[in-house]
Structure 1
Amino acid sequence: MFVLRPDGRWVDFNAFACQDKPEAMDEIVFSTTAEVMETFGKLMGRPQVLDLPVDEAGLKAWIERQKSGNPLEAAHEWAVGYRERRLKKRRGQRESTLWARILPQRKRLRKT
């Protein structure tokens, strides 16, 4: 199965599933429905397919895990984790931006 990434390229879903890292799937998530529509609107010509490696052993392990669990619960768990990772990333960006403003001011104050 191929999925469309926000950059407009198609990728094999298995390349993400085989990694056994929930955050690997983050890059195939669109932020909004509008972003999905915008990306589809830009698709012209032949599809651009990004050839990513698929680890066969990792893929088999992922398939086995799917057999023993509830797919809806697994999707919900991933979504909760995705939301947490996104919030953490935003906080980190805000903090780094804040420190970028504070540090030069502290250096200036020390010189006087």
Structure 2
Amino acid sequence: MWAQPSISIMMCESASGILLSPYVIYKAQKMWAQWTENSPKGDPCCSDRCCMGGSRYNRTNHGWFDGQTFTDWFCSSFLPHAKKLPGRKILLGDNLSSHFTDTVIQLILQTL
């Protein structure tokens, strides 16, 4: 029996058409450099890391987002970009419990 590969990808686009770089989760015990080569950059609006750094990568034993990986995406990709924009923001997603970590909730409350 072959092991089923599992990969999750977080995509985030604004209503104005700005596409943040993808965040990819591999099902693996460790990351391999080859998996991160020549990554897409999204549709950058600035030269900061949140836009121009290219795709970000992580790994879990199961290949999907958990609290740690979602918090990393939120802190390293979404939040730096959102803080630069004027006005209120809204982040739409499903109600997966790993999206509601204490860290994410505290960071949201701090930005209100």
TM bin, normalised by shorter chain, reads under 0.3
TM-score by length of 2: 0.28
Higher strand share: 2
Higher RCO, 1 or 2 (CA under 8 Å, sep at least 6)?
1
Using the size of structure 1 for normalisation, the TM-score is 0.28
User: Which structure's residues are more often helix, by fraction?
Assistant: 1
